[in-house]
Amino acid sequence: MLKHLTYILILTASLLFPLTSTAQQYTFQDTSLDIDARVNDLIGRLSMDEKLSLMEHRNPAIPRLGLKAYSWWNEALHGVGRNGTATVWPMPIAIAASFNSEMAEDIFAQTATEAHRKYNEAQANGKYDDYTGLTFFTPNINIFRDPRWGRGMETYGEDPFLTATMGLACVGGLQHGDNDKSVLSAAACLKHLAVHSGPEGIRHQFDANVSQRDLWTTYLPAFEYIIKCSDVRQIMCGYNRLNGTPCCTNRELLVDILRNKWHYDGIIVTDCWALNDCWERDTVIPRHETHATAALAASDAFGSEVDLECGSGLQALKTAVDSGYISESKIDDHLRRILKLRMQVAEARTEIRHRSQTSPHDAATETFVLLKNDGILPIDGKRIYLAGPNANDTLMPLGNYNGTPLHTSTISEGMAKRFTMTETASKADIIIYAGGLNPQLEGEELPIDIPGFHKGDRTMIELPENQVDEIKQLKKIGKPIVLLLCSGSAIALENIIDETNAIMVCWYGGEDMGKAVASALAGDCDNFGRLPVTFYKSTAQLPDFDDYDMQGRTYKYMSEEPMFPFGYGLSYSDFKLSNINFDKSQMRITGTVHNNGTKAHCKSGKTTVQVYISYPNDKNAPKKALVGIAKVEVPVNGEREFGINIDRFWLRKFDEKTNEMREPTNGEKMILHVGFSSDDNDLNDITFKYKR
């Protein structure tokens, strides 16, 4: 955990462009000048080979100009990753479950502070390797369209609005903290553009075929909205093809949409070694093989809008330039973006302020989702028996793309400090079963192929059969059972739901997960999260994994009843809504949340008010779509008012005639649904006619 409320770090130009003598030698080293003029001066001093060397993610040193080496590849998915000791927060899917964008922004502001300390140390020690810089390949804002995708834990769930909201918080926290946009602390990166969500085993050859409707209503909105609302500095293109063309050579995606339609002017970076998939012939790993040579692939990528390759294609780029495929002026355009950002992150006077100083413990408790509770919880003062494969696992809480915490609180350790441990189930009042999955089973392109799991993806979403059998055996003892689901994705519970008295989804909860689980079960807090993904009843409810059509997927398009709907979650408190009002001129929902009592020991509880939109006269529109959220803390036996502003961006509809998103027509009938989940029974309806 970070100790200080503020952290001030001044990085001068000498860190990135050190002087070889006490006197200033070059114009680009003068930080008092306009940064564009400095960049142009530096470009003018570089040879072509030096220019090209700066377009790979590992920029070499250029001693004659005093330039140090720098690596663009750094990770901050949920804390500084792969760079030694660091705070490890809950995985993004868990952060999404909090429905708390202010907490997410604070987490990433703290991450930026920690990153600056590490960067400063690395610079002082002459280390310029991967994972030591301030340009982060974070966040992953792909839509978690299918729970079988192993990397879904890195995302913010299945909904475009929630993904955009949490992704925007991540970008704001990493790049600015609570400062204004003129103060840069690090550079975030939206990934992976676009339509990327498995299967992992064939991602280097996979062609994601999607309709224009699904592209614009599901897969692109989070990218578009964050670009619209922030100054995000990097975007990463994906491994897959999109409708036949590899994403990193896709002119429609990178030029027509990203540059021309959205007016994005930051850096575009390839996923790591993605360009190799375009030309490499590999009998072990099938690839796209869309280009005859590496130089042609480089030409299509850098000849359009890719600025930086994460990979090792320097020779291919040089061949493309020497062959006349790419002009020097185009190379200079790429370098202007690259060098400008390098200067900005290295020279920023960085004062990172935090709103609340969220702790890993508090963050974890706010991400847990209580799915079932027959009254057995909270369980303070009772004897427990702890079982299950995740009880003592020290790696499970850390997820993937993680740092190394000073200490990881396992579930076993956390429970031992809070409850009496019994040696046998028969002597306990309650059995706690820590089950689910772990990051060695689900993740990115893992070397695993066992029943139920393939290359990091799942082939079925049910709880592993051996865990089901073990729970059923424990049930015979006659004691209540609380199931803790550790996972990065939804788990089908139809075959186990009746065997349990309570179920709590704990995700991969970070370094303080064990203590946080104990606090939540004991009732020390009442701030449970809500589901950022649909929990299906069984694998049978899912369309084919490699089918990217949204029909039948997620709460927006599935026709069958799920086990637990998107946005669902229980509390220890009894929350009610009243006085719901909609100001159409301001597009603002207001109301009152009441806390009519709680079983927890705390003086207040948190709940999430959710607003959805539907179009009753449009048969092609989703059943409903999330357009607003508010995390509200309400004192026990008290009330709090809430207000939610609806951004008209999220009310747009897809126009089949133009293949574009448009504002609804004047006078079109629409319904706002306000409540505590996406389930119709949890919602209050407000019908109105749209006014432009």
- What's the whole-number average pLDDT of the chain? 94
Residue 416 structure tokens:
């031992």
d(CA 181, CA 172): 9
- Number of alpha carbons in the 13 Å side-chain half-sphere of residue 607: 29
d(CA 292, CA 300): 12
Nearest CA to 570 among 606, 616, 543? 606
User: How do residues 493-510 score in pLDDT, each as one tens digit?
Assistant: 999 999 999 999 999 999
Q: Is the pLDDT of residue 617 over 70?
A: yes
Per CATH, the number for 573-689 is 2.60.40.10
pLDDT of residue 41: 98
User: How do residues 389-441 score in pLDDT, each as one tens digit?
Assistant: 999 999 999 999 999 999 999 999 999 999 998 999 999 999 999 999 999 99
Q: Residues 564, 555: contact at Cβ < 8 Å?
A: no
Q: Is the pLDDT of residue 586 over 60?
A: yes
Residue 209 structure tokens:
């075929």
Lowest mean pLDDT among 170-184, 356-370, 579-593: 170-184
Q: Residues 335, 497: contact at Cβ < 8 Å?
A: no
Average pLDDT over residues 100-114: 95
Lowest mean pLDDT among 5-19, 166-180, 316-330, 567-581: 5-19
Determine which helix (DSSP H) or strand (DSSP E) holds 470, and give its type and residue range: helix 465-475
Residues forming a β-bridge with 481: 431
Residue 300 structure tokens:
């299509």
pLDDT of residue 183: 80
pLDDT of residue 7: 34
Q: Is the pLDDT of residue 11 over 50?
A: no
Q: Residues 627, 651: contact at Cβ < 8 Å?
A: yes
Average pLDDT over residues 326-337: 98
With bands split at pLDDT 50, 70 and 90, how would you rate the model's confidence at 491? Answer: very high
pLDDT of residue 543: 98
d(CA 271, CA 192): 8
- Give the three-state DSSP class for 240: coil
User: How do residues 60-78 score in pLDDT, each as one tens digit?
Assistant: 999 999 999 999 999 999 9
Nearest CA to 66 among 125, 120, 23, 117? 23
Residue 405 structure tokens:
């915490």
Task: Give, rounded to a whole angstrom, the gap between the first and last alpha carbons of the chain.
Answer: 48
CATH superfamily of 6-353: Glycoside hydrolase, family 3, N-terminal domain (3.20.20.300)
Question: Is the bond preceding residue 194 a cis peptide, omega within 30 degrees?
Answer: yes
Q: Please check whether the two domains, 360-557 and 573-689, share a CATH topology.
A: no
Residue 645 phi, psi (nearest 5): -85, 130
- Number of alpha carbons in the 13 Å side-chain half-sphere of residue 300: 21
Q: Residues 609, 676: contact at Cβ < 8 Å?
A: yes
With bands split at pLDDT 50, 70 and 90, how would you rate the model's confidence at 357? Answer: confident
Place of tokens 């060695």: 440
- Give the three-state DSSP class for 514: helix
- Strands of the sheet containing 420-421, edge to edge, are 369-373, 502-505, 481-486, 430-436, 383-387, 420-421
Query: How much of the chain exceeds pLDDT 70, in percent?
Result: 95
Length of the chain, please?
A: 692
Q: Is the pLDDT of residue 20 over 90?
A: no
Q: Is the pLDDT of residue 613 over 80?
A: yes
pLDDT of residue 349: 55
Determine which helix (DSSP H) or strand (DSSP E) holds 300, and give its type and residue range: helix 294-302
At residue 232's C-alpha, the angle toward residues 226 and 233, to 5°, is 150
SS (H, E, C) 50-114: HHHHCCECEECCEHHHCECCEECCCECECECECCCECCCCCCHHHHHHCCCHHHHHHHHHHHHHH
Find the DSSP H helices in 476-592: 513-522, 554-557
DSSP state of 687: E
Residue 508 structure tokens:
């991969």
User: How do residues 292-329 score in pLDDT, each as one tens digit?
Assistant: 999 999 999 999 899 999 999 999 999 999 999 999 99
pLDDT of residue 179: 73
Q: Residues 310, 72: contact at Cβ < 8 Å?
A: yes
Residue 306 structure tokens:
């890719």
- 281 Cβ contact list (under 8 Å, min separation 6): 287, 289
Determine whether 284 is exposed, middle or buried from the number of CB atoms within 10 Å of its CB (0-12, 13-18, 19+). exposed
Residues forming a β-bridge with 146: none
Q: Is the pLDDT of residue 583 over 80?
A: yes
With bands split at pLDDT 50, 70 and 90, how would you rate the model's confidence at 90? Answer: very high
Query: How much of the chain exceeds pLDDT 90, in percent?
Result: 92
Place of tokens 């494969």: 389
Question: Is the bond preceding residue 378 a cis peptide, omega within 30 degrees?
Answer: yes
Q: Residues 169, 636: contact at Cβ < 8 Å?
A: no
Q: Is the pLDDT of residue 12 over 50?
A: no
DSSP state of 665: P
pLDDT of residue 435: 98
pLDDT of residue 284: 87
pLDDT of residue 352: 55
Average pLDDT over residues 210-216: 98
pLDDT of residue 6: 34
Question: At the topology level of CATH, where does 360-557 sit?
Answer: Rossmann fold (3.40.50)
pLDDT of residue 21: 38
User: How do residues 242-291 score in pLDDT, each as one tens digit?
Assistant: 999 999 999 999 999 999 999 999 999 999 999 999 999 988 889 999 99
With bands split at pLDDT 50, 70 and 90, how would you rate the model's confidence at 351? Answer: low
683-689 and 669-675 as β-strands: parallel, antiparallel, unpaired?
Answer: antiparallel
- Give the three-state DSSP class for 612: strand
Average pLDDT over residues 584-608: 97
d(CA 272, CA 71): 13
With bands split at pLDDT 50, 70 and 90, how would you rate the model's confidence at 178? Answer: confident
| CA 249 to chain centroid | 24
Q: Is the pLDDT of residue 233 over 50?
A: yes
User: How do residues 366-378 score in pLDDT, each as one tens digit?
Assistant: 999 999 999 999 9
d(CA 401, CA 252): 31
Nearest CA to 233 among 195, 274, 273, 186? 186
Q: Residues 402, 91: contact at Cβ < 8 Å?
A: no
d(CA 137, CA 73): 7
Burial track 28-51 (b if 16+ CB lie within 10 A, e otherwise) = bbeeeeeeeebbbebbeebeeebb
Q: Residues 633, 640: contact at Cβ < 8 Å?
A: yes
Residues forming a β-bridge with 357: none
Q: Following CA atoms 225, 231, 233, 239 in sequence, which dihedral angle do they give, to the nearest 10 degrees?
A: 0
Average pLDDT over residues 454-466: 98
Residue 417 structure tokens:
């400090």
- Number of alpha carbons in the 13 Å side-chain half-sphere of residue 314: 14
pLDDT of residue 1: 41
Per domain, the residue ranges of the chain are 6-353, 360-557, 573-689
